[in-house]
């Protein structure tokens, strides 16, 4: 790989860290082991005899004509189904695979966390693999020795550091691998589906490192978790069967991925009038929530059935609204108040186990919280016939939200929690706007019943 980008960066933009042009990768798939030998010998003999040669393999194109740029300091998400070419793309960028055609130019030191255990010798101990991986990343032995204690402390695998890594669990593999690249002084960080392994404490440690690295470094992040891509990435690209089908802001591309994952366009739904929101009676709600202490004014906008979405049309979301604990539709609520989210649905086909769910997302598309009806009715699923309507009601205490826009995704499916078919999924079906908030930090706030500060033993007593 060359050390210089293809073209000079625009003066108003950061210079290129990675430039990919016309990248393709083809694998030769042999049905039988002996076909490899035939392919190596027989075509040459056929050409010498003046006969047309034949191929003893079939082609599989893992990537086809992929082109994009990543600028220094940018975080790019790569998203797509299994087999779409994501890992192949990253391995070519890292230099561990050679493309069939096209070019990749990378500027800077690359540290990669690819498939589990890549780069480790399973027979070596954790200590030996730290030195070996550091050398691969361009660190001298003196540099690795100087950082060794910090790497071991970051990995936090205890006495296993002296054991062969073949005895490690999957979580320990990732802990050690991430600890090494976190101390490699890399310019570019490549992460492939690795942050989902490990406990919550290590995951938070990794996220703190990643957030700090993003301030100065370049990141390529691959995940099936659309919300993680939206949360972490500036831009994203979508791969489908080796081709780049979409590139743009992370939220838009992630929504396209969700639709593509079900391979079904959302069927147009007829407009259905939601209950007309009425101004809430403040006196009737005075006993429900103390507005004077919460200071979180959230405006609720009407349900929009024409928002973008997807599904096979086996069920439709006709209407949805939010109400207070007394059942009165509302246009404004406050954090800490008990509210109800109601979604009215209709079956277009027989539903053996309908599931209705929702997510509340912030402006970056991060899923703050949500739930669905599956567990409540898993033992006695509701049977719905074509043409019948049904309603889901979620009652919960609204957390305190920082200022800004929010939205609720609504979905109806048929099946189980893990195996289901989407009938209708509506992005941003209901929009919320938090106009004022007492929350100073964090994504959401929990209403406190009381807060106090006092000396355990008052010396004046």
In the chain the domains, ranked by start, together with CATH numbers, are 16-261 (3.40.50.300), 268-436 (2.70.50.60)
Distance of alpha carbon 353 from alpha carbon 381, whole angstroms? 5
pLDDT at 270 over 50: no
Start-to-end CA distance of the chain, whole Å, equals 76
Q: Which residue has the higher pLDDT, 175 or 271?
A: 175
Distance of alpha carbon 176 from alpha carbon 153, whole angstroms? 10
Q: How confident is the model at residue 5 (pLDDT cuts 50, 70, 90)?
A: very low
Answer whether 0.85 is exceeded by the pTM: no
What's the whole-number mean pLDDT along residues 282-296? 50
Q: So what's the pLDDT on residue 329?
A: 93
Most confident of 14-18, 388-392, 416-420: 388-392
Q: How far is CA 130 from CA 127, 153, 175, 359, in A?
A: 5, 13, 12, 41
pLDDT at 461 over 90: no
Nearest in space to 384 (alpha carbons), one of 412, 358, 426, 364: 412
Q: How far is CA 288 from CA 281, 326, 339, 401, in A?
A: 12, 9, 10, 19
Model pLDDT for residues 117-134, shown as the tens digit of each residue: 567 888 999 999 999 988
Q: So what's the pLDDT on residue 6?
A: 42
pLDDT at 278 over 60: no
How many residues does the structure list for the chain?
Answer: 461
Model pLDDT for residues 170-223, shown as the tens digit of each residue: 888 888 988 998 898 899 999 887 665 566 677 778 888 888 999 999 999 988
Model pLDDT for residues 292-342, shown as the tens digit of each residue: 445 788 999 999 888 888 899 999 999 999 999 999 999 999 998 999 999
Q: 104 near 18, Cβ under 8 Å?
A: yes
What's the whole-number mean pLDDT along residues 269-273? 36
Q: Which residue has the higher pLDDT, 3 or 105?
A: 105
Distance of alpha carbon 79 from alpha carbon 75, whole angstroms? 13
- Strand ranges in 51-206 using DSSP code E only, listed in sequence order: 58-71, 75-80, 101-106, 110-113, 188-192
Q: 265 near 310, Cβ under 8 Å?
A: yes
Model pLDDT for residues 336-392, shown as the tens digit of each residue: 899 999 999 999 999 999 999 999 998 878 889 999 999 888 888 899 999 999 999
Share of the chain above pLDDT 70, in %: 85
């Amino acid at each position: 790989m060359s050390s210089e980008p293809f073209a000079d960066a625009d003066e108003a933009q950061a210079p290129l860290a990675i430039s990919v042009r016309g990248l393709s990768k083809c694998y030769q798939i042999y049905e039988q082991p002996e076909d490899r030998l035939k392919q190596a010998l027989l075509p040459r003999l056929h050409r010498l005899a003046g006969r047309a040669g034949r191929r003893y393999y079939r082609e599989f194109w893992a990537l086809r004509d992929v082109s994009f740029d990543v600028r220094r300091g940018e975080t790019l998400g790569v998203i797509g189904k299994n087999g779409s070419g994501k890992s192949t793309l990253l391995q070519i960028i890292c230099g561990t695979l050679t493309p069939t055609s096209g070019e990749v130019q990378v500027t800077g030191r690359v540290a990669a966390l690819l498939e589990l255990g890549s780069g480790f010798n399973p027979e070596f101990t954790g200590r030996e693999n730290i030195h070996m991986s550091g050398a691969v990343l361009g660190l001298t032995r003196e540099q690795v020795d100087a950082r060794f204690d910090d790497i071991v402390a970051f990995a936090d695998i205890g006495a296993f550091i002296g054991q062969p890594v073949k005895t490690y669990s999957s979580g320990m593999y990732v802990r050690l691998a991430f600890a090494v690249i976190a101390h490699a002084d890399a310019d570019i960080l490549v992460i492939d589906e690795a942050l989902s392994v490990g406990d919550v404490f290590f995951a938070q440690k990794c996220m703190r490192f990643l957030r700090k690295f993003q301030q100065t470094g370049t990141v390529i992040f691959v995940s099936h978790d659309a919300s993680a891509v939206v949360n972490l990435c500036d831009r994203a690209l979508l791969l489908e069967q080796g081709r780049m089908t979409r590139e743009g802001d992370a939220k838009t591309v992630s929504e396209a991925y969700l639709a593509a994952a079900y391979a079904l366009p959302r069927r147009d739904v007829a407009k259905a009038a939601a209950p007309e929101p009425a101004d809430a009676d403040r006196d009737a709600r005075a006993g429900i929530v103390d507005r004077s202490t919460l200071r979180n004014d959230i405006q609720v906008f009407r349900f929009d059935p024409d928002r973008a979405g997807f599904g096979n049309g086996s069920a439709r979301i006709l209407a949805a609204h939010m109400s207070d604990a007394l059942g009165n539709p509302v246009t404004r609520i406050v954090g800490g108040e008990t509210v109800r989210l109601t979604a009215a649905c209709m079956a277009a086909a027989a539903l053996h186990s309908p599931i209705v769910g929702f997510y509340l997302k912030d402006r970056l598309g991060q899923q703050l919280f949500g739930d669905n009806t599956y567990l409540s009715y898993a033992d006695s699923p509701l049977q719905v016939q074509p043409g019948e309507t049904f309603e889901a009601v979620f009652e919960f205490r609204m957390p305190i939200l920082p200022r800004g826009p929010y939205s609720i995704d609504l979905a109806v499916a048929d099946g189980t929690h893990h195996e289901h078919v989407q009938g209708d999924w509506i992005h941003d079906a209901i929009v919320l706007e938090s106009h004022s908030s007492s929350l100073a930090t964090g994504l959401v706030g929990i209403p406190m019943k009381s807060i106090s500060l006092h000396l355990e033993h008052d010396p004046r007593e």
